[in-house]
Structure 1
């Protein structure tokens, strides 16, 4: 497909339980990346249009993983980003997170790592971990 042709893509919107099937017309640049989104149809609310543009230009996801715990009644702490971060940063974030060790006790919602990769988004605890009794 040449860089000037319009391509039609289909995928589901995941912003709400309706999971509308979106049909999106795009034009790709010389590098193969989406250069322009021409139209979005199939969405039953405005969030579908926003989702399609975001998904095709800079996909975002909440990162969920675990962090090692020192002195706790559990060895691993489930963590997640407080908001979605660019999908392109997930591997770099995981490289940083793998080296973390958190001291117990910790409470759900506590910030484990501030401003992850300068995104202004924190990595937060997803459960409580106490010290052994």
Structure 2
């Protein structure tokens, strides 16, 4: 006998400007985790279906933050991941990034950290910083 519970959720897809209102039926296990996505409606393109599945099973976000700069005309360098990484890794990534100090000069797009937490996704500079 299954102890899973079926639940209907509604949220907007954010993959394009249409922001379709998705209605998603999910099956949750006894611990409340999503065991299965049963169906997705409301999406006007296939990206909405893919977004709903990913958002409910492994949400992904681009991480944006700053790192300290040594010898630069700015004290902080804005950085971001080149692609989205699992939301569950953001706190661990921030713990690692918090200790990073880059030396000026640095150019937008320069890799600050390669292969962040084994994701094969780099952390890159989001602006230029010149030396003082």
Superposition TM-score, scaled by structure 1 size = 0.96
Query: What CA distance in whole angstroms lies between the structure 1 residues aligned with 2:29 and 2:35?
Result: 5
Query: What CA distance in whole angstroms lies between the structure 1 residues aligned with 2:3 and 2:71?
Result: 56
**Misfit runs of 4+, over 6 Å:** none
What secondary structure does 1:31 align onto? coil
Structure 2 residue aligned with 1:31: 31
Work out whether residues 70 and 103 of structure 1, in 8 Å CA contact, stay in contact via their aligned partners in 2: yes
Query: What CA distance in whole angstroms lies between the structure 2 residues aligned with 1:121 and 1:48?
Result: 24
Structure 2 residue aligned with 1:64: 64
Kindly provide the CA deviation profile for residues 30-73 of structure 1, in whole angstroms up to 9, marking residues without a partner as x: 21110000000000000000000000000000000000000000
What secondary structure does 1:105 align onto? coil
Kindly provide the CA deviation profile for residues 4-31 of structure 1, in whole angstroms up to 9, marking residues without a partner as x: 3311000000000000000000000121
Work out whether residues 5 and 29 of structure 2, in 8 Å CA contact, stay in contact via their aligned partners in 1: no
CA, structure 1 residues 3+56, in 2 after alignment: closer, same or farther (shift >3 Å)? farther
TM-align CA RMSD:
1.0
How many residues are aligned here? 131
Structure 2 residue aligned with 1:19: 19
Query: What CA distance in whole angstroms lies between the structure 2 residues aligned with 1:30 and 1:126?
Result: 43
Structure 1 gap segments, 5+ residues each: none
Structure 2 gap segments, 5+ residues each: none
